[in-house]
Structure formats: structure tokens, C-alpha cells
Amino acid sequence: MEKKITVDSATLFNKGLEVIEAHYLFGVDYDDIDIVIHLQSIIHSMIETQDSSVLAQLGWPDMRLPILYTLSWPDRVYCSEITWPRLDLCKLGSLTFKAPDNIKYPSMNLANAAGRSGGTMTGVLSAANEKAVEMFIDEK
């Protein structure tokens, strides 16, 4: 699974899946979802509110905490098995963002099109990606 996640991250396919997830989980229209590339991987999610303020979930580049946060929502669950040092933003220095390159990474457009098509298209896309990544890893 680790190799697949690496390939999906390298191709930004994971970002396309996250758009589909946000659409279904939160009922957000595809036109209202933007992909932003954040190279430090400190910000795991952001939402713009009606008054244009932005709320963000920040943490170390480790998905265990965002997953725990999601699974325990609206409560916060402490897990003694997962510990991180304090996130010192001053020591980190800066957070940078850039728009995705949809030409270099077309998988985001494919995911968007599949999501907008509805029906089973997201499942078809996911299955095609599974097979493509498997073949890439197996060097076929």
C-alpha cells in the first residue's frame, strides 16, 4: 500500500480523490472546491467560510492525526500511542502554496470529470488507477 500511496501522491491522483471525497462528505459543489499545493505538508485541510475567513487544520506531515481527528469528529480523542513535538511555526518559518499544474498532472482533471459524471464513474476511475499503479510498480 505504501508504494501505491507514493505513486498517487507523485501523480497528484490523491488530490483528485480528495475533491471527490469533499464533494460527497460535505455536500460541496465541485465548482466550490479548489486544490492548493502546499509543499511543507503542514496544512492538511482548509475551508473558506461565508465571511471569507479561512479555517485550517495544521499539524506535522503525518496523516495519523488528521485521520484520528476525522474519525472522532466532533470529539477530540487523545491517543497516547501517537505523539508529536509541538508544532513551532516560528521555527518552521513559512508556509508556501501554489496552484496545481493540470497539464503536468492530468489525473486531477480525470477525477474531476469522473466526479461530475456521477454514477459509477468514480469507481471506474479508482479501479483504473489501481490497475495502472500496479502495472507501474511491476514495471509493465
Q: What is the pTM of this model?
A: 0.82
3-state secondary structure of 62: coil
- Mean pLDDT for all residues in the chain: 92
Q: For residue 98, is pLDDT > 70?
A: yes
Which pLDDT score is estimated for 84? 82
> Which residues 6+ apart lie within 8 Å of 32 measured at CB?
none
Least confident of 18-22, 74-78, 116-120: 74-78
- The structural domains of the chain, with segments of one domain joined by +, span 1-26+103-140, 38-97
Task: Give the tens place of pLDDT for each residue, 3-48.
Answer: 998 999 999 999 999 999 999 988 999 999 999 999 999 998 899 9
Which pLDDT score is estimated for 1? 63
Q: For residue 82, is pLDDT > 90?
A: no
